[in-house]
Structure 1
Amino acid sequence: MRYKVAGMDCPSCATKIETALGRLPGVTDVGVSYHSQVLRLRVDETGTSRDRVEGTIRSLGFQVEDMDLIQVVAEGEAEVDAGGAAREAWWKAPKARLTGLIAVLAAAGFAISALVPALGDGALVPAALVGLWVFGRRAVALARAGSPFSIEMLMSIATLGALIIGETAEASVVVLLFSAGELLEGIAAGSARSGIQALAALVPRTALVIEGGVAREVPASRLEIGQVTLVRPGDRVPADGEVVDGESDVDESPVTGESVPVPKRVGSPVIAGGINATGALRVRVTRAAADNTIARIIHLVEEAQASKSPTARFIERFSARYTPFVILAAVLTVVVPPLGFGADWHTWIYRGLALLLIGCPCALVLSTPAAITSGIAAGARRGLLIKGGAALETIGKVRAVAFDKTGTLTLGRPRVTDLVPLSGTGRALLGLAAAVESGSSHPLARAIVERAADEGVPVRPARAQEALPGRAARAVVGGKLVEVGSPRHAIERCGAASIPADSVAALEDDGKTVVVVVADGVPIGLLALRDEPRPGALAGIAALGQLGVRAVMLTGDNARTGAAIGRALGVEVKAGLLPKDKLTEIAALKSAAPVAMVGDGINDGPALAAADVGIAMGGGTDVALETADAALLGNRVGGVAELVALSRATMTNIHQNVAVALGLKAVFLVTTVLGVTDLWLAILADTGATVLVTLNALRLLRRPGVSAGS
């Protein structure tokens, strides 16, 4: 089951719901994200009904409603949340109405007390009682649900105690400040959520569907797979799709962070939300609205924000011990001075109540997840997808980044540059190689098949096709066993004397990859292919160097080709590696310091998994979005440096937040025991610190990206 839970402003809220629901029979797998306000759980309705689940959540002071799958927001429509429900303006929310009511009662109470001095502070009792009624009921519900040390309980005890000892004005100000603090937390949390939800608004409201030679306007949310849409210059692309007619440049920077418009022609993929710049395009829809790239990004980011980082888990464990300790300190503050030293009961009860308010760990608990969620949101808005707080923390600690070559540091679109037949003709050589490679998704294989198609070389049928990872592909063509593989594989099969070493060396010195075609154990020719470095790869590697991060290229290519690419990019090279060798190199790098692996998400699965952090480059493909710990949607090598810089900025933000949360509490703890500060200032030690921590975390959303080959 999935629910939308409104009113969650901090991780403590999520913990309260998890604790309460976890105590219900038949309820398992409870997961709550305060940031996205999404609750996921499994319910055995023979043990607990849906109504009881919803009633439990409402009793804790939250609003709850069924939630469908993520819906895409159309441009210009009313602002909606992730579940598709319209979001109220903050001043219409229940918290705002409660804060307004308490503020009016408190203001009226102070005014009446000034006009009728005989009443004293009695006119302020209604304001205190309203707050005590609302927060006290919530505190009791939380205690019954397994959260006895909630801020609501501490605040209610302090308010009730203040009323009992005659500090009515203090009690009314405490409930007013607490209510206002909750309202401000909600507004700040809403600002953080809007960072990701704004992505949904990139999808236009309508689309032009071509039917029978006529374009008619339909809602973009109703587009179906297979329909063809017209995207005019200046229009936003309404859905993920493939160009079937026309040529143009499309600005995909709002989604991928790629600053330069991307040329599109027939067969090119396009992403919903991109802006068509020049020519008209006809685009065939390949994904429904609820499953397009933007919807999947929002879903993945929500899941990432719900995951807890190691620092967040540590602080939660710390706060679980911190709050009972402060409560014990408050009790001792109340009883020890009067009983042990004959001090005034009123004074020390008052100071003990203030300590209760200081004891709430909300700001401390929020310090880490607020920064983590803002960091993940900031990355997503620049085409950097990070799969959770643990990955975000680790990325900033890496001291080495290992790059795959093909499709990562290079464009992944190699071209056949040379045909060197050793027997027969070049066309026959190309035809046999294409027959073996037909059906393969490897970039080198596609290049060979494309060259054969360009030259009109017929591709003969092949059977028993087989891939030898890192070595060769082979198949039976025309009754012969034909192998297309590396020179090293050909030497192992046929002997070194059968391979023209000088020709191979000359091609490799030019930065070309050489493959040898072998038929029935006899080499019949060489094919040379070259894959150009990505634009911006040199700047991206340089940006990593400026951050103190070592860059290493791991490639299955020979040493000469690897060295040529390495010289062009200024990167250290480890060449001639089989998949298992890449794992060995990753292990060696990890032994010295944390390491990240960057690959295309297709052939680098083991290495991505073996590294401390796996980063996939895939231009928004399924593989890039679903594998590894992070993904670079724009295929920008500079995005790796941006990830490292963003992680480090996030960790700095966390340290600042923890210092603010603990520092304010330490100051107010001392001043309260000494009698310098009042109850209403004590509540600021919590609500004030919480608001400051949240606002500081929001600065990450406005943080400019790192200029690294973007």
Structure 2
Amino acid sequence: MKENKEENGCSTSDESIAKLENSSCCSSNHHSENGNNPFPILIQEKNNCCSSNSSKETVNEQEKISCCRPSPTSDNKQKNNACCNSETTEDKISVKTNCCSSNNQQTKDTISNSLPPGEKMAYRVHGMDCPACAKTIEKGLSTLKDIAEVKVNYSTAKMQVAASNADAFIPIESEIEKLGFSIEPLNQNGNIKTFEIEGMDCGSCAKSIENHLNTLSSVKNVSVNFSTGKMKIEHSNSVEDIMTEVSKIGFKASLPSNNQSIQTHKNKNENGLVILSGVLIALGFIGSFNGVSTMMSSILYAIAMVISGSKPVKSAFYAIKSRSLDMNVLMSVAAIGAALIGEWLEGATVVWLFAIGNLLQTKSIERTRNSIRNLMDLAPPEAWIYVGSEIIKKPVEEITVGDIIFVKPGDKIPLDGEIIQGESSVNQAPITGESIPIDKNIGDTVYAGTINENGSLEIRVTKLVEDTTISKIIHLVEEAQEQKAPTEAFVDKFASIYTPVVFILALAVMAVPSLLGFGTWGEWFYKGLEILVVACPCALVISTPVAIVSAIGNAAKNGILIKGGTFLEKAGAITAIAFDKTGTLTEGKPKVSEIKTINVSEETLLSIALTLEGFSTHPIAKSIVLYGNEKGIQPKNGELYKSIVGKGVQATIQGDIFYAGNLKLFEEMNVDLEDIKKHIHEIQNKGKTVVIIGTQNQVIGIIAVSDTIRDTSATALEALKQSGVNQTVMLTGDNEGTAKMIASEANVNRYFAELLPEDKVDAIKKLQNEGHKVAMVGDGINDAPALATADLGIAMGGAGTDTAMETADIVLMADNLDKLSHTMKLSKKALTIIKQNIWFSIIIKVLALVFIFPGWLTLWMAVLSDTGAALIVILNAMRLLKFKE
């Protein structure tokens, strides 16, 4: 359900907290004390902010009640009791804040390095339903022995604890349970870090790093992802120790940084070494035809081998030590073997081609990885912020929730927030993928990374830099890229068996035939070396992950979040898509579509309707009030308002009792409906809701309200059919007439009407039983059971809802269906390219193996077939980055 329950005046969500009114706790008249105040005085909301709907809140109840009082002048107390006080001591600017939120506290809570030095632990807290709960936990745990500091962030449900020794963490869980909550550790007795790894050119490199680090007692868990070039490791030793261990195996580990100058310098050095090796090989080769001694040529080849081969040989040593058979091992053995049998040119050419291939692969794969890293540059690192009457520039990391930032026309918006002054068009393409700018006014939400087109804006910050929508997108996409798709997992398993089998085969070819008298030892040893090179399944291993990363990156730039390769693959196999009606196929906002008056003017009818519906919170009543306001209609003076549950409302207007309600209400009052009953049924058969206005004696008019279909729904569904989806299905709780009309307008194949939430699950299962692979499209909140039951859950409008971003498999950031067909076509294209890559890799390997035995394949050709195939596979996968519908 989209509605949030409210008990004792405290809402269970930040959104509803901001909307609660007509309570007394936080009532406060704020006035500007500075004549130069650049902001309008904002209306303060009246909320009973600190009450809780849970019995566990009885602890320190008095403290929670006092949080809504004006903040004391003491700096210390202000930090602890700033819950609902929105007036800062610095500039006296009155700022509307979410009830019970503390700007200072929220800022500190999310910065773990603000904790004092010593032992630290992070936890996820379950059961908090008001920011006051966070304060309760902080106070409760601060009394424990050896606990130095506790920081609880209600918004992220995370807790950071600093203690003087490790034993101090033991009683925390039981103490939390006493307070009525539960926790789970986020970094159990470890130090979880993410490193960027440089130098990996194949998936086997990642496995070698994992195997090597797993031999260390200080490493609890390690995961290296070749596609993203990142390593997540849980360790108890220092960061420098980890970097050293990774360097031993021939790679470089570094903490994430935006500084690319070091990497650029490193690439130039590698380029220079490869060029130098090539020159030496060329000189040796030319010299062998110009009377230069064989010894001199061999020396040049040997120097070239050392220059190009030192890195792979070093990596091979540690790979063998950690019981890995990666490409470095195979190539090193091949090169050294060639040198042992006097094939210096072959050996030098092997390592040189291998180095060139690695260099080209690295450059190509980096372009793929940067498709997501470039998202990080969308939001500016600094923002203009008001301090008193001055505007200064500050890093976004130093800006807190509630601060006011100023954004000039043409600038990027640095943080998520709410417009409090100004209006403009904002280009939201980085978030939603929509290229058409959206008009934004006071009260509208804006997102970090979007572009302010043409008007100056003053924005109240609502999220810290690490919590912005763009940050969440980057985080979710990186997580998605690190998850293995079923095809990738299968290929990895196949490669793990293939490589050792072919390695053993190569050793057998080197030894067995010559022992049996079939040819010379040197001849078969050379063939064995060729098989070793062919044994490296580099192209095959790369074939899937690069395609997955490219496709997910493409989707992210188009406002589509795909949570992993598994869901990308599933999307391409979908044959039926079920849509929730309200808010998905339709706008979800009822609008007045028809008015019929009887013996009164339309203006009079609307004036009476406005009077009756003005105090109702029902969506239909709101739509009538909105329509009347847009027409400039003024309500009449009414009194004695009364709600008639399930039927309508009544009020006394100028001495007469008027009613606004459904047909049942007027039938019970025995009002003559003979003349209009037929018309009412006609309207209802069109899927519209009828509101009858009248007295106990007569009806003075009818107002028809309907939920209008989205402009994009019909075209989006047509595009889906063209992309290969056979069945489009609508699920709705509306009556048959309404469902039939909407289904016709939306151009769906089938519809299921009069459904309860659990009935939608049955409808999904029915489609699955018919043999369809089913995707469910909803808002990610009230369609959760159906989304979970479907083969693929797709949520709409993720830019406005954190829940949608977390619950669905795929999230359309824009609140429309335009991008759905792009998702399906992108998935099908990705699957096609993955199959192409896999078959190409296998065919190349088979041909290479076949050509070895007749003697048609040389060692350098074997290397070229391996590195060349890998490069072709990468370039083929990179086409997905630029795929357009």
- TM-score tier (shorter): 0.7 to 0.9
Cα deviation for residue 607 of structure 1 reads: 1.1
Residues 541 and 551, structure 1, Cα contact 8 Å, conserved in 2: yes
**1:157 and 1:308 mapped to 2: Cα distance?**
31
Are residues 1:37 and 2:216 paired? no
Cα deviation for residue 669 of structure 1 reads: 1.3
Q: Please give the root-mean-square deviation of Cα atoms over the aligned residues, in Å.
A: 3.8
Cα deviation for residue 391 of structure 1 reads: 0.2
**Counterpart in 2 of 1:2?**
193
* Cα distance per residue 1:631-657 (max 9 Å; x no partner): 111223121111100000000000111
Q: Structure 1, unaligned stretches of length 5 or more? A: 68-79, 438-442, 467-471, 475-485, 518-524
**2:739 and 2:477 mapped to 1: Cα distance?**
36
Larger Rg: 2
Q: Structure 2, unaligned stretches of length 5 or more? A: 1-191, 597-607, 649-660, 694-700
Are residues 1:564 and 2:741 paired? yes
Q: Which secondary structure does the structure 2 equivalent of 1:347 belong to?
A: helix
What letter is aligned with 2:313?
A: G
**Counterpart in 2 of 1:648?**
828
Cα deviation for residue 511 of structure 1 reads: 3.4
* Cα distance per residue 1:660-694 (max 9 Å; x no partner): 21121112111122111211110112211111111
Are residues 1:14 and 2:206 paired? yes
**2:208 and 2:689 mapped to 1: Cα distance?**
59
What letter is aligned with 2:773?
A: P
User: Paired residue for 1:56, among 212, 225, 245?
Assistant: 245
Q: Which secondary structure does the structure 1 equivalent of 2:544 belong to?
A: helix
Residues 281 and 304, structure 2, Cα contact 8 Å, conserved in 1: yes
**1:444 and 1:94 mapped to 2: Cα distance?**
69
**Counterpart in 1 of 2:318?**
141
What letter is aligned with 1:686?
A: D
* Cα distance per residue 1:488-530 (max 9 Å; x no partner): 9x99xx9xx999986764443343356999xxxxxxx999642
Greater shift after overlay, 101-110 or 156-165?
101-110
Residues 432 and 460, structure 1, Cα contact 8 Å, conserved in 2: no
**Counterpart in 2 of 1:477?**
none
Are residues 1:573 and 2:758 paired? no
Alignment of 1:532-571 (within 5 A): 532-549=708-725, 550-571=727-748
What letter is aligned with 2:730?
A: M
* Cα distance per residue 1:225-251 (max 9 Å; x no partner): 222333333332222222222332222
**Counterpart in 2 of 1:697?**
877
With normalisation by structure 2, the TM-score equals: 0.67
Query: CA 1:14/1:631 → structure 2, altered by over 3 Å: closer, same or farther?
Result: same
Residues 431 and 459, structure 1, Cα contact 8 Å, conserved in 2: no
Residues 576 and 729, structure 2, Cα contact 8 Å, conserved in 1: yes
**1:583 and 1:203 mapped to 2: Cα distance?**
40
Q: Which secondary structure does the structure 2 equivalent of 1:258 belong to?
A: coil
**Counterpart in 2 of 1:635?**
815
Residues 251 and 262, structure 1, Cα contact 8 Å, conserved in 2: yes
With normalisation by structure 1, the TM-score equals: 0.83
Residues 127 and 172, structure 1, Cα contact 8 Å, conserved in 2: yes
What letter is aligned with 2:319?
A: L
Residues 624 and 633, structure 1, Cα contact 8 Å, conserved in 2: no
**1:671 and 1:161 mapped to 2: Cα distance?**
20
What letter is aligned with 1:580?
A: E
**1:255 and 1:409 mapped to 2: Cα distance?**
21
Greater shift after overlay, 499-508 or 666-675?
499-508
**2:525 and 2:736 mapped to 1: Cα distance?**
78
**2:421 and 2:759 mapped to 1: Cα distance?**
44
What letter is aligned with 2:473?
A: I
**1:542 and 1:513 mapped to 2: Cα distance?**
28
Greater shift after overlay, 621-630 or 53-62?
53-62
Residues 647 and 662, structure 2, Cα contact 8 Å, conserved in 1: no
Cα deviation for residue 315 of structure 1 reads: 0.7
Query: CA 1:452/1:600 → structure 2, altered by over 3 Å: closer, same or farther?
Result: farther
**1:541 and 1:462 mapped to 2: Cα distance?**
44
Query: CA 1:405/1:112 → structure 2, altered by over 3 Å: closer, same or farther?
Result: same
Query: CA 1:516/1:19 → structure 2, altered by over 3 Å: closer, same or farther?
Result: farther
**2:722 and 2:338 mapped to 1: Cα distance?**
57
Q: Which secondary structure does the structure 1 equivalent of 2:384 belong to?
A: strand
Cα deviation for residue 220 of structure 1 reads: 4.7
Q: Which secondary structure does the structure 2 equivalent of 1:638 belong to?
A: coil
Are residues 1:255 and 2:444 paired? no
* Cα distance per residue 1:65-109 (max 9 Å; x no partner): 344xxxxxxxxxxxx64xx66562276366445434533543454
Residues 513 and 558, structure 1, Cα contact 8 Å, conserved in 2: no
**2:564 and 2:787 mapped to 1: Cα distance?**
16
Alignment of 1:387-426 (within 5 A): 387-415=563-591, 426=609
Alignment of 1:194-209 (within 5 A): 194-204=370-380, 206-209=382-385
Alignment of 1:172-211 (within 5 A): 172-204=348-380, 206-211=382-387
**1:133 and 1:275 mapped to 2: Cα distance?**
49
User: Paired residue for 1:27, among 219, 223, 233?
Assistant: 219
Q: Which secondary structure does the structure 2 equivalent of 1:412 belong to?
A: strand
Alignment of 1:30-429 (within 5 A): 30-43=222-235, 45=236, 52-67=241-256, 81=258, 88-89=263-264, 92=267, 95-96=270-271, 98-110=273-285, 113=288, 114=290, 116-119=292-295, 121-123=297-299, 124-147=301-324, 149-204=325-380, 206-212=382-388, 215-220=391-396, 222-415=398-591, 426=609
What letter is aligned with 1:674?
A: P
**1:115 and 1:445 mapped to 2: Cα distance?**
99
Greater shift after overlay, 386-395 or 346-355?
346-355
Cα deviation for residue 531 of structure 1 reads: 2.5
**1:445 and 1:130 mapped to 2: Cα distance?**
79
Query: CA 1:416/1:327 → structure 2, altered by over 3 Å: closer, same or farther?
Result: same
Cα deviation for residue 428 of structure 1 reads: 7.6
Query: CA 1:498/1:557 → structure 2, altered by over 3 Å: closer, same or farther?
Result: farther
Cα deviation for residue 324 of structure 1 reads: 1.7
Are residues 1:685 and 2:865 paired? yes
Q: Which secondary structure does the structure 2 equivalent of 1:279 belong to?
A: coil
Are residues 1:604 and 2:783 paired? yes
Cα deviation for residue 309 of structure 1 reads: 0.3
What letter is aligned with 1:633?
A: M
Greater shift after overlay, 18-27 or 56-65?
18-27
* Cα distance per residue 1:414-461 (max 9 Å; x no partner): 3466899xxxx8568636742xx6xxxxx7797689789998799999
What letter is aligned with 2:208?
A: K
Q: Which secondary structure does the structure 2 equivalent of 1:41 belong to?
A: strand
Cα deviation for residue 554 of structure 1 reads: 0.9
Are residues 1:587 and 2:762 paired? no
What letter is aligned with 1:261?
A: P
Query: CA 1:138/1:298 → structure 2, altered by over 3 Å: closer, same or farther?
Result: same
Cα deviation for residue 586 of structure 1 reads: 0.8
**2:432 and 2:251 mapped to 1: Cα distance?**
36
Identity %: 38
Q: Whose relative contact order is higher, 1 or 2, with alpha carbons under 8 Å and at least 6 apart?
A: 1
Alignment of 1:425-504 (within 5 A): 426=609, 430=613, 433-434=616-617
**1:498 and 1:354 mapped to 2: Cα distance?**
97
Cα deviation for residue 211 of structure 1 reads: 4.6
Q: How many pairs were matched up?
A: 652
Cα deviation for residue 589 of structure 1 reads: 1.3
**1:298 and 1:399 mapped to 2: Cα distance?**
30
Query: CA 1:30/1:590 → structure 2, altered by over 3 Å: closer, same or farther?
Result: farther
